[in-house]
């Protein structure tokens, strides 16, 4: 089931310091800087992101109990035993977790197209991430960068116009006009 989770107020942990962890960290910092990283070693990309965003990091092994202060955990390590340990701990603490391999069930990160406040999530339920990525790239090119502007325009109408048929009609006209422009741009 796709859901959107506001993570800007959540305590987030990333376990891992390699290339997969780097990709996950790049995704996370688009939404929040409230993330801490635990890994025995950090690749150069992770070190650069830690410095760029002033993130808290711990260069050490994951320890039993580390999950306790976090609401959301991303596990990006190729150590299957560690992933299973974190999975067991997450079940006991009811902590939401995303795992980099399919050995442990958890939340699935979709591929995301983001244009301002518009976000389109694409998921293959972890069955074909390469396809999800290809669709993300395709839709990112297909949709105009100005998509967020229509959202802001509609938001202003929603805030300034009294609820009712007149406001709904105006919103529908704006959306229809935008969709006609979009179809003209992409056909």
Are residues 51 and 69 located together in one domain of the fold? yes
Are residues 167 and 122 located together in one domain of the fold? no
Q: Quick check: is 160 in a domain?
A: yes
Token representation of residue 182 = 């979009």
Q: Quick check: is 172 in a domain?
A: yes
Q: What is the predicted pLDDT for the residue at 4?
A: 80
Q: Is the pLDDT of residue 185 over 80?
A: no
The boundaries of the domain holding residue 26 are: 12-107
Q: What is the predicted pLDDT for the residue at 186?
A: 52
Q: Quick check: is 77 in a domain?
A: yes
**Residue 135, domain CATH:** 3.30.160
Are residues 157 and 180 located together in one domain of the fold? yes
Are residues 138 and 179 located together in one domain of the fold? no
The per-residue pLDDT for range 142-173, each reduced to its tens digit, is 999 989 899 999 999 999 999 999 999 999 99
Q: Please state the pTM of the whole predicted model.
A: 0.79
* Among 117, 111, 115, residue whose Cα is nearest residue 144: 115
Q: Is the pLDDT of residue 109 over 90?
A: no
Are residues 53 and 119 located together in one domain of the fold? no
Are residues 116 and 49 located together in one domain of the fold? no
SS (H, E, C) 55-112: CEEEECCCCCCHHHHCCEEEECCCCHHHHHHHHHHHHHHCCEEEECCCCCCCCCCCEE
**pLDDT (average), residues 170-185:** 88
* Among 100, 129, 137, residue whose Cα is nearest residue 18: 100
The per-residue pLDDT for range 114-133, each reduced to its tens digit, is 998 899 999 888 788 899 99
Confidence of residue 54 (pLDDT cuts 50, 70, 90): very high
Are residues 134 and 153 located together in one domain of the fold? no
With tokens 């972890």, the residue in question is 126
Spatial distance between the Cα atoms of 78 and 66, rounded to a whole number of angstroms: 18
Confidence of residue 113 (pLDDT cuts 50, 70, 90): very high
Q: Quick check: is 3 in a domain?
A: no
Are residues 93 and 36 located together in one domain of the fold? yes
**Residue 41, domain CATH:** 3.40.50.720
Q: What is the predicted pLDDT for the residue at 1?
A: 67
> Are the C-beta atoms of residues 112 and 123 closer than 8 Å to each other?
no
If one counts the domains in the chain, the total is 3
Q: Quick check: is 7 in a domain?
A: no
Q: Quick check: is 2 in a domain?
A: no
Are residues 62 and 120 located together in one domain of the fold? no
Are residues 84 and 26 located together in one domain of the fold? yes
The per-residue pLDDT for range 82-103, each reduced to its tens digit, is 999 999 999 899 898 988 776 6
Are residues 18 and 93 located together in one domain of the fold? yes
Q: Quick check: is 1 in a domain?
A: no
């Amino acid at each position: 089931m796709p859901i959107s989770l506001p993570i800007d107020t959540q305590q987030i942990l990333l376990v891992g310091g390699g290339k997969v962890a780097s990709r996950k960290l790049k995704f996370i910092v688009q939404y929040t800087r409230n993330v801490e990283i635990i890994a025995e070693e950090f690749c150069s990309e992770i070190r650069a992101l830690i410095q760029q965003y002033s993130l808290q990091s711990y260069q050490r092994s994951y320890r039993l109990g580390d999950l306790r202060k976090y609401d959301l955990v991303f596990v990006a390590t190729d150590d299957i035993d560690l992933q299973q340990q974190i999975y067991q701990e997450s079940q006991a603490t009811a902590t939401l977790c995303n795992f980099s391999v399919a050995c442990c069930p958890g939340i699935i990160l979709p591929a995301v197209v983001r244009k301002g406040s518009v976000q389109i999530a694409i998921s293959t339920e972890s069955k074909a991430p390469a396809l999800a990525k290809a669709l993300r790239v395709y839709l990112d090119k297909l949709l105009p960068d100005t998509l967020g502007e229509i959202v802001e325009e509609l938001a202003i109408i929603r805030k300034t116009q009294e609820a009712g048929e007149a406001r709904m009609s105006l919103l529908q006209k704006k959306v229809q006009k935008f969709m006609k422009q979009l179809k003209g741009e992409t056909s």
